[in-house]
Amino acid sequence: MTRIAVIVGSTRPNRNAPAVAKWVYENARNRADAEYELVDIADFNLPLLDEPMPPAMGQYENEHTKVWAEKIGSFDGYIFVTPEYNHSVPGALKNAVDYLYAEWNNKAIGFVSYGSAGGTRAVEAWRLIAAELQMADVRAQVFLSFGHDFASMTEFAPTEGSTGALQSVYGQVEAWAKALQSVRG
């Protein structure tokens, strides 16, 4: 069975990411073509990148890196739930991504983003990062606006349109994750 991680991409207090990620996960639970798992980067307590060797070498020394690598390596694809911070990606998620290399290679990635501009600038930055990690980013994306999908800019309340757009993200991530299995060998 194809395995897809829904990654909670923020660690700050009072973050919106867990509510959004839970929504993504709950809407994916009944899909027949893939198994989804919720992965919160906050649960891994990763300090700022502290591995002495470059991640591309795969020579991890720290236990927290080995645990993170095992978790991420177990998936065929990912959906990042990412806020937009200062027109770009959240530092905690970027740090978590930077810990690894081969674990991300030849896997599919989709995005559910949020922010004042729907998180679109964060996703554009993520697409460049994903390319460097040899990931296949899908075209479909869900972008959530504080003005439409959050009550008082804090309580997540997705619109029907946002929920509908999720189906395209699932379908594309699942299709690409399966297609890339032969590349991963």
pLDDT, tens digit, for every residue of 83-110?
A: 999 999 999 999 999 999 999 999 999 9
What the chain holds in terms of domains, given with CATH numbers, is: 2-184 (3.40.50.360)
- For the entire predicted model, the pTM comes to 0.96
The span from the CA of 37 to the CA of 127, in Å, is 22
What are the residues whose beta carbons fall under 8 Å from the beta carbon of 169, sequence distance 6 or more?
A: 79, 110, 111, 112, 138, 140, 141, 142
Query: What pLDDT sits at residue 174?
Result: 98
**Averaged confidence pLDDT in the chain:** 96
pLDDT band at 147 (very low <50, low <70, confident <90, very high): confident
pLDDT, tens digit, for every residue of 26-81?
A: 999 989 999 999 999 999 999 999 999 999 999 999 999 999 999 999 999 999 99
